[in-house]
C-alpha cells in the first residue's frame, strides 16, 4: 500500500531546491512547501505558551527553557494567560520579530490554525507541541513540520477502561472537560465516551458497550483547578446521585475532590475519580486514596522538540505525528513516582 503522506513528503523534499514541483501534471509553486531552516550556529526560537497557572504549563515551559539553554539557543517566550485572542496576537508578534522557528502549543485547534498558515507565508517553519490544530485548515507535513504529542483519544479510552473495572461496569459519571475547542479536550472526550459506547477510533471494541456506565453531566472546567472545583460544586447540586468523575486533567480532578469533600462526600469511596496528566499532586492524591488513577500526559517537550528541529535542519524525514508514549499511574505504582513528576 502506498502511504500518500510519505509520497507527498518525499516529493516535497525532492523539490527542496525551491524550483517547484509537478503534481499529477500540475505545477505547484515552491511556496506550497514548509519553509526551510538553514544550518546556523545558533537559533532564535519563538515559544508562544498558552498560560502559566498550572503545574503542567510550568513544567512544559521549564523543559523548553532548559533545553534551549543547554543548546545555547535564544528562546523568545510569550504567555497568553489562557486567552486565545492573546495567543494569536503573540504568534503575530513572534512572526514580526522574525524568529527562526516557532514551536508552540495551539490553545484552540481551529482558532490557531490560521496562525500556522501565517507563519508559513512569512517563511517561518512551525513545530506544534502538546496540542494540534485542525487538519482541515492546516496540515502537518505540508503547512507545518509536525505535531509532537500524546494520543489523546487513547488517553480517554484508558481512563474509561480503568473506571469500568473500578466500578464493576456500573456508574453515574460527571465528566469535567478541558478547554472548549482544545485538541486534548475534544479527543479525550471522544476516547472516553466512545469506549463506553463500545467503540474506539471507529472500530467496535472486543469488550462491547457498557450500558450501565452513564454520563449524567459533562461540562468544561477549562483545565483549571479552581474552575473544576466550582463546576463540580454546581453539578453536585443537580446530580447528587453521582458515583464517578472523569476529569480531562489532574488539576480539575483535584478541584473536584475538594468540592466533594466540602459537600460531605468521600472521594475514593462513594465517588471514584480518574483523570489525566500524572502531576505530583495527583500522585499524592492516589497515595491518599482520594484519586483512583491518572493516565500520564507528559509536559516535558524540550528535548524531543529541539531534537525534531535538528532533524528538520538535517533534512531527515519527519512523520506527521511524533507520538509521545504515556505511562499509567494508580495505587500499584504512584508512590514510586511521587515528587518526580511536575
Count Cβ atoms below 10 Å from residue 31 Cβ, excluding itself.
11
Q: Is 47 in the site for ligand GYE (CB under 6 A)?
A: no
The yes or no reply on residue 249 touching ligand GYE (CB under 6 A) is yes
Report the residue number, 9 or 229, with the smaller CB distance to ligand GYE: 229
- Residue 46 or residue 299: which is nearer to ligand GYE going by CB? 299
Between residues 77 and 214, which has the closer beta carbon with respect to ligand GYE? Answer: 77
Contacts of 55 (CB under 8 A, 6+ apart): 251, 279, 280, 281, 342
Question: Between residues 9 and 57, which has the closer beta carbon with respect to ligand GYE?
Answer: 57
Q: How far apart are CA 269 and CA 289, in angstroms?
A: 8
Find the farthest-apart pair of alpha carbons in the chain and give their distance in angstroms, rounded.
70
Count of residues near ligand GYE by CB under 6 A? 12
Q: Which of residues 259-318 bind ligand GYE (CB under 6 A)?
A: 276-277, 297
Residue 161 interacting with ligand GYE (CB under 6 A): no
End-to-end CA distance of the chain: 42
Tell the smallest beta-carbon distance from residue 214 to ligand GYE (Å): 25
DSSP SS3 for 228: helix
CA distance 177 to 286: 20
Give one word for 141, left, alpha or beta, with left for phi > 0 and alpha for psi -120 to 50: left
Pick the piece of the chain touching ligand GYE (CB under 6 A) from 24-32, 52-60, 208-216, 334-342: 52-60
Per-position DSSP letters for 262-328, written without gaps between them: HTT--BTTTBEEEEEE--HHHHHHHHHTS--EEEE-----HHHHHHHHHHHHTT----SEEEEP--E
Contact call for residue 56 and ligand GYE (CB under 6 A): yes
By CB under 6 A, is residue 223 in contact with ligand GYE? yes
* Contacts to ligand GYE from residues 98-157, by CB under 6 A: 105, 130-131
Alpha helices in 144-279 (DSSP H): 152-166, 183-196, 225-238, 250-262
Give least dist CB 279 to ligand GYE, A: 8
User: Least CB distance from residue 150 to ligand GYE, whole Å?
Assistant: 7
Sign of torsion, CA 289 292 295 297?
A: negative
Q: Is 167 in the site for ligand GYE (CB under 6 A)?
A: no
**Helix, strand, coil % over all residues of the chain, rounded to 5:** 40, 20, 40
In this chain, which stretch among 51-59, 64-72, 112-120, 316-324 interacts with ligand GYE, using CB under 6 A?
Answer: 51-59
46 binds ligand GYE (CB under 6 A): no
Of 276 and 322, CB closest to ligand GYE:
276
Residue with smaller CB distance to ligand GYE, 290 or 298: 298
Cβ of residue 277: shortest distance to ligand GYE, in angstroms? 5
Q: At how many degrees (to 10) do helices 152-166 and 183-196 cross?
A: 40
Q: Which residues bind ligand GYE (CB under 6 A)?
A: 54, 56-57, 105, 130-131, 184, 223, 249, 276-277, 297
Amino acid at each position: 500500500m502506498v502511504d500518500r503522506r510519505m509520497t507527498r513528503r518525499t516529493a516535497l523534499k525532492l523539490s527542496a531546491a525551491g524550483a517547484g514541483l509537478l503534481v499529477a501534471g500540475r505545477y505547484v509553486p515552491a511556496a506550497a512547501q514548509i519553509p526551510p531552516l538553514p544550518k546556523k550556529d545558533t537559533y532564535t526560537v519563538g515559544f508562544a505558551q498558552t498560560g502559566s497557572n498550572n503545574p503542567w504549563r510550568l513544567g512544559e515551559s521549564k523543559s523548553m527553557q532548559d533545553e534551549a539553554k543547554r543548546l545555547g539557543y535564544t528562546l523568545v517566550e510569550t504567555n497568553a494567560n489562557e486567552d486565545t485572542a492573546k495567543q494569536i496576537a503573540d504568534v503575530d508578534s513572534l512572526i514580526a520579530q522574525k524568529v527562526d522557528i516557532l514551536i508552540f502549543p495551539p490553545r484552540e485547534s481551529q482558532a490557531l490554525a490560521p496562525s500556522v498558515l501565517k507563519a508559513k507565508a512569512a517563511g517561518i517553519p512551525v513545530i506544534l507541541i502538546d496540542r494540534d490544530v485542525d487538519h482541515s485548515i492546516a496540515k502537518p507535513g505540508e503547512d507545518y513540520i509536525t505535531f509532537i504529542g500524546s494520543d489523546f483519544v487513547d488517553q480517554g479510552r484508558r481512563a474509561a477502561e480503568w473506571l469500568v473495572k473500578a466500578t464493576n461496569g456500573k456508574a453515574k459519571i460527571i465528566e469535567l472537560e478541558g478547554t472548549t475547542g482544545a485538541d486534548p479536550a475534544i479527543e479525550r472526550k471522544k476516547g472516553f465516551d466512545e469506549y463506553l459506547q463500545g467503540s474506539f477510533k471507529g472500530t467496535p471494541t472486543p469488550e462491547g458497550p457498557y450500558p450501565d456506565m452513564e454520563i449524567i453531566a459533562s461540562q468544561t472546567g477549562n483545565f483549571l483547578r479552581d474552575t473544576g472545583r466550582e463546576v463540580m460544586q454546581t453539578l453536585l447540586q443537580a446530580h447528587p446521585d453521582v458515583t464517578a468523575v472523569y476529569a480531562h486533567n489532574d488539576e480539575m480532578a483535584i478541584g473536584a475532590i475538594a468540592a466533594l469533600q466540602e459537600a460531605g462526600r468521600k472521594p475514593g469511596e462513594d465517588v471514584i475519580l480518574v483523570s489525566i496528566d500524572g502531576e505530583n499532586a495527583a500522585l499524592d492524591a492516589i497515595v491518599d486514596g482520594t484519586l483512583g488513577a491518572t493516565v500520564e500526559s507528559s509536559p516535558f517537550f524540550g528535548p524531543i522538540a529541539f531534537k525534531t528541529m535538528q532533524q528538520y535542519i538535517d533534512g531527515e524525514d519527519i512523520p506527521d505525528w511524533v507520538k509521545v508514549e504515556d505511562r499509567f499511574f494508580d495505587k500499584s505504582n504512584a508512590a514510586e513516582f511521587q515528587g518526580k513528576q511536575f
